[in-house]
């Protein structure tokens, strides 16, 4: 339906989150929500970035793999092509800071507000034509979770509201989802890559380690894409234990093709 397709879902979620904070107005739940969001966001980024994009970690079993992908689908509800989106992330590494770098191009063609808080952003069609022509063999094959992405998110939300109530649904699902979208765009894209800095001038943001963990070392990740980077204090990093619990380290990650 054209009307549904034209809705800016990220902006709508942003407005819903702001309105919800005033409507529910529960500081105790908000504090627990932020703690839960910190855990979920920092673990989900491992599923998408280190897992699906770079292949640095491999699920210990197929059922675990499906569980992790399910988490990714409900944390990124507005991306119906989740695997494709993260499979072509390697293109950003290959074209880093060039005129055909998808991320750099979008940063330069949008205001910071539109980039961080909207889904309907300006995109250079020339860059997307190049992406559409890349080797399809490097894109992860879809599975049943990808095919039923929308249904999964709708059913999950309905069941969650019925089981924990609308208030808890807002604090422990809506807020984490909104923060995760901001995490991906700000920590992994806007913060390290915005502006006219060259590759050599871009730098890590180690002071953000307590908040975004390995995301604080995104520039180091670009310079060493085949290396699993968890920061200097990996034993204080929840991502380290998340990986130990659900993943095996891949000795030949996709990153080695860059």
What DSSP assignment string belongs to 105-122? HHHHTS-HHHHHH-S---
Q: What is the pTM of this model?
A: 0.89
- Enter the DSSP assignment of 54: T
How does pLDDT run across 70-90, given as a tens digit for each residue?
A: 999 999 998 877 887 787 787
Residue with tokens 């649904």: 169
Domain span at residue 18 reads: 2-257
Report CA-CA distances (Å) from 192 to 54, 158, 217, 218: 18, 37, 9, 7
Q: Which residues contact 240 (CB under 8 A, 6 or more apart)?
A: 230, 234
Confidence check: pLDDT of 23 > 70: yes
How does pLDDT run across 90-133, given as a tens digit for each residue?
A: 778 877 877 778 888 888 888 889 888 888 888 776 666 666 66
Report CA-CA distances (Å) from 127 to 78, 110, 133, 136: 21, 15, 10, 16
Q: Are 256 and 226 in contact (CB under 8 A)?
A: yes
Domains of the chain: total: 1
Average pLDDT over residues 153-172: 96
Tokens of 251: 């000795």
Report CA-CA distances (Å) from 226 to 113, 124, 147, 193, 239: 32, 29, 30, 19, 17
């Amino acid at each position: 339906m054209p009307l549904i397709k034209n809705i800016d879902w990220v902006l709508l979620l942003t407005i819903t989150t702001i309105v919800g904070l005033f409507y529910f107005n529960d500081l105790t739940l908000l504090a627990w929500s932020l703690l839960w969001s910190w855990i979920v966001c920092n673990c989900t980024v491992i599923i998408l970035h280190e897992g699906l994009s770079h292949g640095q970690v491999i699920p210990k079993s197929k059922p675990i793999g499906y569980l992790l992908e399910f988490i990714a689908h409900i944390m990124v509800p507005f991306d119906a092509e989740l695997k494709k989106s993260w499979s072509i992330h390697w293109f950003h590494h290959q074209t880093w800071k060039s005129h055909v770098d998808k991320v750099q191009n979008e940063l330069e063609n949008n205001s910071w507000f539109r980039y961080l808080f909207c889904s309907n952003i300006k995109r250079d069609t020339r860059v997307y034509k190049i992406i559409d022509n890349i080797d399809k063999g490097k894109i992860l094959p879809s599975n049943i979770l990808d095919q039923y992405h929308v249904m999964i998110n709708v059913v999950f939300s309905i069941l969650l509201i019925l089981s924990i109530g609308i208030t808890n649904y807002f604090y422990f699902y809506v807020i984490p989802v909104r923060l995760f979208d901001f995490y991906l765009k700000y920590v992994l894209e806007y913060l390290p890559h915005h502006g006219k800095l060259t590759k050599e001038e871009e730098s890590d943001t180690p002071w953000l380690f307590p908040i975004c963990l390995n995301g604080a070392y995104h520039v180091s990740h670009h310079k060493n894409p085949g290396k699993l980077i968890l920061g200097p204090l990996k034993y204080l990093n929840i991502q380290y234990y998340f990986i130990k619990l659900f993943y095996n380290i891949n000795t030949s990650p996709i990153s080695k093709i860059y």
